[in-house]
Chain A
Amino acid sequence: MKHAKQSKLKIGLTLASLSLIAGMLPVPVQAFDYPAPGDFAQGAKEWADNCGRCHNIRGAKELRDDQWITTMFHMRLRAGLTGQEMRNILTFLQGSNNPSTGVIVKTSTATGSATSGLSGKDIYSQTCIACHGADGKGVLPGVPDFTRKDGRLSKPDATLLKHVTEGFQSPGSPMAMPPKGGNSSLTEGDLKNVIEYLHQEFGS
């Protein structure tokens, strides 16, 4: 009995160490053509809606992009997500993980001060609301409360614009503000409008 247990243990440990080594090999980032990309903004909302139900919500920066793939397939089964929800959340996590190199979030696609014709309010309720909430107080850990006096909105507009355009993470913060809130089609003009809207709607 004891023997059987020990040999089982040995096999187990060998397996464990082999996989440890295999699991630790770094895999280049842009390497994956699967699963198909999802919708970043939807993913942000679905992540907030689903990922804190069973355990502490896990932030994008906690794992590498390739680790997120297997983890999201694993969590799709645990959480009973549809394939589309899984792809959206994966796109959101990978995109927020790597604002600078992300495959999905391309910040260079739309520049110039032309606007897409959407009002600041429209943009806020389509892209920003998933994390910042209808009341601007933030719905997720790490998202700041815009309504606070001498809060984030008291920073100069140029700084806010830069942070919203390029993405931003304060030291030690559990979550990053993704570039353009993850919506790469927003122009500089759009972002100026939405910052204007933030001031009007949430004070300072």
Chain B
Amino acid sequence: MKTSIFPLKPVAFAVLTALAALPAVAAADDLSQLRKTVETLQKQLQEVQKQLEEQQAQAKTEQPASRADVEQLQKQVSEANEWREPNTLVHLAGYADVGYEKTQGNNDDGSFTVGRFSPIFHFQYRDLVMLESELEFEVEDDGNTNTSLEYLTIDLFMNDYATLVAGKFLSPVGQFRQNLHPSWVNKMASAPPGFGHDGAAPVSDVGVQVRGGLPRMGGVRTNYALFVSNGPELSSEDGELEGIDAEGFNKDAEGNKVYGGRVGILPIPNLEIGLSGAWGEAAVSKIDGNEVDINDEGKRDYKVYDADFNYQLGSLGVRGEYVKSKVGSTSKGLAASGSANWTTWYTQAAYKFLPTKWEAVARYTDFDSAVDDRDVKQWALGINYIFTSNFIAKVNYELNDGKNNSAADDNRFLAQLAYGF
């Protein structure tokens, strides 16, 4: 509409000047001249008016036309193939938790904590391939935020029984790290000792795996995972092996791959028994907290054995896992030392008081580390309130029996709110 007002201005101006000029012309006493002038002015004015009307008419027809254009465009966009039948799916999942923690004994007044925020991204192209990635944001005690890539894999669905998974993945050894560690899944606020970072159970690894489910035979389900990976690196302290860093190294520094796998058998629905392991070589890359050249250190045998089970009977869920990691000896390098073992096992029972939302959990763990200060036998007891299947409040008490005066000996109170999305 604005545009149609503007051309009027010069017209009005012309008329006004013409009128202002009138008396002067009349004084010239040439009436016919004056009439002529008025006539030409009139004509001009009519012409201008005609042009103006044409313009306006044009503008009118143009406006609906361009609106129709936009609508057409919108329609095209909404009908475009990728929206009507999207071949690519983008999906966000993940979990987060917040809590409160108080260790008994060493003057701890208790602290509020934010656990992890772990978004999971899925990008999927039809039923052929999927990219899965989990990030982990963690606030450290000093307030800094730590980010890490928990896993990142490209999964190629080859056929109904096999998927190729390549990248950084959660270790297929055992079940806790792969399947139970997310806080909305874990019935306890903490991981069982030895199943956390730097414990007995491998956390993640970089490599390739093939995994899937096999056709049922006589009602028995079977699933499997086979992998080859870079494997872990080791750390040593005070001349002894101290830890296995099995958290996914992007470079196989010591040059020997680790091979492993897991088979899960479900003789009846909701009962799974898993056997898994990993074999390879590893070397020390850190001595007393300082990086060393891994190539100067002797290669050691590395073996992991694991057995797990998982049974769901109505409101009762029982599960457990045993894992042993063995690292051999070497006489080569700065960290030359004898062999070392890490062993841990836990069992857990959880009972839902249906139809209420309450759940009671008890867990027993016995962790035997290569470092005696970290050994612990733990009873953990908990009460959960299951708001919804993916939002859970937990209150736990841990009775820890470790070496006297070691941190592993202190009992702990934990409360946690966990949300999975």
Contact = CB atoms under 8 A, between A and B. Distances in A.
B91 A82 contact: no
B157 A83 contact: yes
B163 A70 contact: no
A12 B121 CA distance: 11
Interface stretch (A59-67, A105-113, A119-127, A181-189): A59-67
Chain B interface main SS type? strand
B353 interface: no
B127 A141 contact: no
Chain A interface main SS type? helix
Nearest to A82: B213
Contacts, number: 131
Given A19-B92, A23-B92, A70 B122 contact: yes
A53 interface: yes
A158 interface: no
Contacts of A101: none
Contacts of B184: 55
Q: What is the size category of the interface that chain A forms with chain B?
A: 35 or more
Contacts of B270: 49-50, 52-53
Interface stretch (B14-22, B26-34, B81-89, B197-205): B81-89
B272 interface: yes
Contacts of B42: none
Interface in B380-396: 386, 389-390
Given A12-B137, A23-B92, A32 B130 contact: no
30 contacts: A2-B144, A5-B144, A5-B146, A9-B147, A15-B121, A22-B90, A23-B90, A23-B92, A52-B270, A54-B175, A54-B185, A55-B184, A66-B89, A69-B89, A70-B91, A70-B124, A70-B130, A73-B124, A76-B163, A76-B213, A77-B132, A77-B155, A79-B223, A82-B160, A82-B161, A82-B214, A83-B157, A83-B159, A83-B161, A84-B160
Interface of A: 2, 5-6, 8-9, 12, 15-16, 19-20, 22-24, 27-28, 31-35, 48-50, 52-59, 62, 66-67, 69-71, 73-74, 76-85, 141, 174
Given A12-B147, A27-B83, A73-B122, 5 more contacts: A5-B145, A35-B127, A48-B269, A78-B179, A83-B161
